[in-house]
Amino acid sequence: MEESEPLLGEERRLNGHCRWTTHALDTKAVENFRRKLKYFFMNPCEKYRARGRKPWKLMLQILKIVLITAQLVSFGLSNEMMATFKEDNLMTFRHLFLKGYKDHQQGSVWCFSKLTKQYVPPFFQYMNLQNLTLGNLAYEMDEDDYTPLSICQRFYKNVTIDPGRDTFDIDPQIDKGTKARPQTDTYNLNITFTLKTINLQTVRHHELPDCYGFHVMIIFDNHAHSGKINIMVDNDVSIYECRDWNVAGNSSKTDYLLLLFDFVVILACFASFILCTRSVIRGIQLQFEFNIFFHAYYSKIVTWSDRMEFVNGWYIFIIISDILTITGSMLKVGIQTKFLTSYDVCSILLGTATMLVWIGVIRYLGFFKKYNVLILTLRAAFPNVIRFCCCATMIYLGYCFCGWIVLGPYHDKFRTLDKVTECLFSLINGDDMFGTFLRMRDKSYMVWLFSRLYLYTFISLFIYMVLSLFIALITDTYETIKQNQKDTEPESLLQAFIAECRDQPESGRFQTDEEPLTCCGSLWECFKRN
């Protein structure tokens, strides 16, 4: 066979894009395959006009948005009551067990050179309150006896300190015990006990009240041995079903309706999961058929960019959302039936799923040309944005480490590495600039001068240069996308091949779905001959 007369067809280029002559390639099998590809990439409205097939996935996604959002609001109100109840009780404990506590404080701090008996009795007077019923609180009981509180002292194994003579002898190993030790030995002191209460406010929202166990921890932190003892109150919360309960006039009808609604959400997400998974599998199968076709007819290997067009990323997006929603809904059912108390895990799953569902709506807006610009811009700019962010991150980390080691001892916003990253990120967005500058005024002149040079260069570099280049990168991609939309020429080998099919959705030529073997069988035989 001569090269000037190809057996199966020939290829020519027009304005840099592939075109195929019709004298050899326009067989029935090839036309059916081209029509099959075109139908696969149609949007739901075009598929409905082509075959009258109703857009079930589109309608199901709209239904899911309504159901999942309503479910999230219902769970969010319950979760809000739980979180508020926990915070209010923690605030109550701090007022009860920290002398002189103010609401705006994160903890109470007393400064002592020595923790004497003049302070201890008032503290234990708070501990020995006999009546805590105002807040529906009670001490934990083991059968008929109250559960005793626990006192745990952490101390250095051996320490002898004489600051006046500048001498010390210390074993830094930390031991635990309940026996009193000298204050110079003490690292910290923890007092723990359990209070129990019932969250009654949920009964107004047709939910059974939960019983709460607050494991209160009062911490005397003396690890610095600087003369200042930090005294803090914290707690761990356990939520469980009450042993015996009775709500007058309570009807379980509302509970059953809520459970039924959750099962409807699970069923809708499961149906969406099946439909989207089937579409992904069909896309992968069609991608293999297309690869065999081009290898057989043109002896070409289809590029990965063309092959990945068959894998719809939005479907994978929806599948992930469905999995999260189903898992979160099952946890929500367990919480409502009092078998589980995993509020945090359920919140993360349902919150993430709802976010993905709403983001997934962009796919259907993308069927309209003007709305599709955002999606195309994000997809085209993503690789360049990642590379740009990697370079900018190197500069950002350099400033983080420098600020931490130099300004950390003099500025509370640079005291720890995580605070440095948060502070610098806030500065990039123009937040609290004056406060950051102001707190360095009373420091040493050398540190003050360095802080000015550090902050001015960072702000100038990232706000006026890095952010501007980042915006320019997105803008340039946007302009390129707009220009490409004006160009009617296809951008890829796959799109150029599909563009040869001039059949419109209303033409009636898409009414019958060709069997895969009709096309692939002939292509495979041709591939074996070559």
The set of residues, in sequence order, having a beta carbon less than 8 Å from that of 298 and lying 6+ positions away, is 9, 11
The whole-chain average pLDDT of the chain stands at: 76
Mind listing the pLDDT tens digit for each residue in 423-468?
Answer: 999 888 888 788 788 777 666 788 888 888 999 999 999 988 998 9
pLDDT band at 250 (very low <50, low <70, confident <90, very high): low
Q: What are phi and psi of 408, to 5 degrees?
A: -50, -45
Residues 6+ apart with CB under 8 A from 210: 82, 198, 199, 202, 239, 240, 241, 242, 338, 341
Residue at 359: amino acid letter: I
Residue 478, pLDDT > 70, answer yes
Cα 163 from Cα 225, distance rounded (Å): 12
107: DSSP letter: S
- When pLDDT is averaged across residues 513-522 and rounded to a whole number, the result is 44
Task: Give the least confident one: 3-17, 68-82, 348-362.
Answer: 3-17
- Least confident among 75-79, 130-134, 383-387: 130-134
Q: What is the pLDDT of residue 23?
A: 42
- Residue in this structure with the two tokens 């320019």, named with its chain if needed: 472
Going by C-alpha positions, the residue among 456, 451, 400, 389 that lies closest to residue 425 is: 400
3-state class (DSSP) for residue 215:
strand
Provide the pLDDT confidence category of residue 398 given band limits of 50, 70 and 90: very high
**Residue 355 to residues 65, 324, 352, 383, Cα–Cα distance (Å):** 10, 11, 5, 23
Q: What is the pLDDT of residue 494?
A: 72
Ranges of H-type helices in 98-149? 120-127
Which range has the top average pLDDT, 20-29, 39-48, 60-69, 178-187? 60-69
Among 105-114, 187-196, 221-230, 391-400, which is the least confidently predicted range?
105-114
Q: Give residues with Cβ within 8 angstroms of 317, minimum separation 6.
A: 356, 359, 360, 363
Please give the average per-residue pLDDT across 320-328, as a whole number: 93
DSSP of 59-87, one letter per residue? HHHHHHHHHHHHHHHHHHHHHHHHHHHHH
Distance CA(138)–CA(429), nearest Å, equals 48
Give CA–CA dist 417/434, Å, rounded: 21
Q: What is the mean pLDDT of residues 148-165?
A: 79
Residues 24/9, Cβ–Cβ less than 8 Å: yes
Residues 188-196, mean pLDDT to the nearest whole number: 85
Check residue 415 and give its pLDDT. 87
CA–CA gap between residue 197 and residue 212 (Å, rounded) = 5
Distance separating alpha carbons of residues 192 and 176, to the nearest angstrom: 14
Q: What's the DSSP call for residue 135?
A: G
DSSP run (H or E) holding 17: strand 17-20
Q: Which two tokens stand for residue 380?
A: 């085209």
pLDDT on residue 498: 72
User: For position 441, what pLDDT does the model report?
Assistant: 63
For the question of whether the overall pTM of this predicted structure is more than 0.75, the answer is: no
Among 14-18, 352-356, 449-453, the range scoring the smallest mean pLDDT is 14-18
DSSP E strand stretches across 178-297 = 186-198, 211-221, 228-240
308, 286 in Cβ contact below 8 A? no
* Residue 297 and residue 336 in contact, taking contact as beta carbons nearer than 8 Å: no
Q: Which amino acid is at 226?
A: S
pLDDT tier, 251 (very low <50, low <70, confident <90, very high otherwise):
low
**pLDDT surpasses 90 at 126:** no
* 80-84, 335-339, 412-416: the lowest-pLDDT one: 335-339
In the numeric block, which tokens belong to residue 79? 């979760």
- Taking CB atoms within 8 Å and a gap of at least 24, the contacts of 377-383 are 377/474, 377/477, 377/478, 377/481, 380/477, 380/480, 380/481, 381/473, 381/474, 381/477, 381/478
Quick check: 202 and 213 in contact, CB under 8 A?
A: no
Residues 227-266: b if buried by 16+ CB within 10 A, e if exposed: eebbbbbebeeebeeeeeeeeeeeeeeeeeebeeebeebb
Better-predicted residue by pLDDT, 522 or 298? 298
Beta strand segments in 147-203, E: 150-162, 167-177, 186-198
Residue 442: the pLDDT is 63
- What is the full DSSP assignment across 409-459? TT-GGGSSHHHHHHHHHHHHTT-SHHHHHHTTTTS-HHHHHHHHHHHHHHH
**Residue scoring higher pLDDT (356 or 188):** 356
- Give the whole-angstrom CA distance, residue 327 versus residue 337: 16
Confidence band for 12, pLDDT divided at 50, 70 and 90: very low
Count CB atoms within 10 A of the CB of residue 18.
18
The stretch 12-41 carries a mean pLDDT of 59
Residue 103 has pLDDT above 70, yes or no: no
Token output for 214: 């607050």
For 421, the token pair is 């990253």
126's tokens: 């708070």
Cα–Cα distance for residue pair 388/375, rounded to 1 Å: 20
The pLDDT value given to residue 434: 80
* pLDDT score for 242: 80
- Quote the pLDDT of residue 182: 57
Pairing outcome for strands 150-162 and 145-146: unpaired
Grade residue 335 by pLDDT with cuts at 50, 70 and 90: confident
Listed range (184-198, 211-225, 399-413, 454-468) with the worst mean pLDDT: 184-198
3-state class of 395 per DSSP?
helix
End-to-end Cα separation, the chain, in angstroms: 11
Q: Which pair of tokens denotes residue 178?
A: 């309940």
Q: Is the CB of residue 214 less than 8 Å from the CB of residue 89?
A: yes
How far apart, in whole angstroms, are the C-alpha atoms of residue 336 and residue 30?
57
Q: What backbone torsions phi and psi does residue 303 show, to the nearest 5 degrees?
A: -70, 160
- How is residue 157 written in tokens? 């194994």
